[in-house]
Amino acid sequence: MDNVIVVIFVLIVFIIRKTIIVVPEQSEYVKERLGVLQGVLKPGFYFLIPFVDQIRYRQNLKEQTIDIDPQVCITKDNVSVEVDGVLYMKVIDSEKASYGIDNFMLATSQLAQTTLRSEIGKLVLDNLLSEREEINSNVVSNIDRATDPWGIKVTRYEIRNITPPKQILLAMEDQMKSERERRAEITISQGEKESLVNKSMGEMQESINISEGEKIRLVNEATGRAKEIELIATATAKGLHLVSEAISKKGGKEAVSLQITQEYLDALGTILKTSKTTVVPENLANISGVFEGLSRITTKLPQGAGE
């Protein structure tokens, strides 16, 4: 009796599992009824007819990645390179993905490899290393067109590694080394050029500063000499003015005559002391004549010159 109950319980569980089904989000199930396509189940809760309805395919609608294995490709200039990458795709039509091809993941991977070889064969090695984006774009567009009947959408392809032969790598390293040395020499020469330019500019500025300083010095000296001459002239004019005023006063003429006579005699005495032989004017013997001449000079000065 217990065995019968267990069998009935297991049968009920089996029937429930075959009858009730839940389709998760971002998934679609392909249902067949007696071997014939019945429809595609969207995410949700469904009842099936036991032993009549069957879930034939379960498709994942999320974006999926396919690793593209490394393969040897020949460039346009006959250089062998090893290339690998990764492909991004998603199922957009579950019915086509289920019945359009047996294994769409494998087929898409093989198609990516052949398309990549074709694209690399169009380019020389130098362009291959610098035009990855263009290669990726061409691979995506070509694969996407080919997989459209399978209900597949190719979203992106990325080349991961491009490995040239070892001798090519060594040649590239030598080329890069030469390029770095060339750039270093250019940088050094540019620095030396700038240094010479800066030095010449400094020397030119120094010469300008020296000439400007010399110019200012000469101007200052000329200004000082002009000021000195002006002051001397002013002092002389003032002295003459004072002398003129003194002469114009009462007794002034006599005082001036006396002063001039005194200075004349002092000068004459100095000459006689410092020289053994002295030539004197002829009229010096008549000293009164000298005094009269001096007196006539002072008499000719204008009267009232100090006014």
pLDDT value of residue 256: 63
CB proximity list for 93: less than 8 A, separation 6 or greater: 151
For residue 275, CA distances in Å to 263, 272, 282 come to: 19, 6, 18
pLDDT value of residue 289: 56
pLDDT value of residue 192: 83
pLDDT value of residue 109: 92
pLDDT value of residue 224: 83
For 201-246, write each residue's pLDDT tens digit.
888 888 888 888 888 888 888 888 888 888 887 877 787 667 667 6
Are 163 and 155 within 8 A, CB to CB? Answer: no
pLDDT < 50 regions, the chain: 285, 301, 303-307
Sign of CA dihedral 146, 150, 151, 152: negative
Q: Which stretches within the chain are classed as H helix?
A: 2-19, 94-99, 104-120, 125-130, 132-147, 166-248, 252-274, 287-299
Are 88 and 63 within 8 A, CB to CB? Answer: yes
pLDDT value of residue 249: 65
pLDDT value of residue 304: 43
Q: At what angle do helices 132-147 and 104-120 cross, to 10 degrees?
A: 140
φ and ψ at 29, to 5 degrees?
A: -110, 135
Q: What is the helix (H) or strand (E) element at residue 305, kind and residue range?
A: none
Class of domain 64-164: alpha beta
- Both tokens of residue 101? 């091809």
pTM: 0.53
- Residue 154 CB neighbour total at 10 angstroms: 23
Sign of CA dihedral 255, 261, 265, 271: positive
pLDDT value of residue 66: 92
For 6-41, write each residue's pLDDT tens digit.
777 777 777 777 788 888 998 999 998 888 888 899
Q: What pairing do the DSSP bridges indicate for beta strands 80-91 and 53-60?
A: unpaired
Are 66 and 142 within 8 A, CB to CB? Answer: no
pLDDT value of residue 243: 67
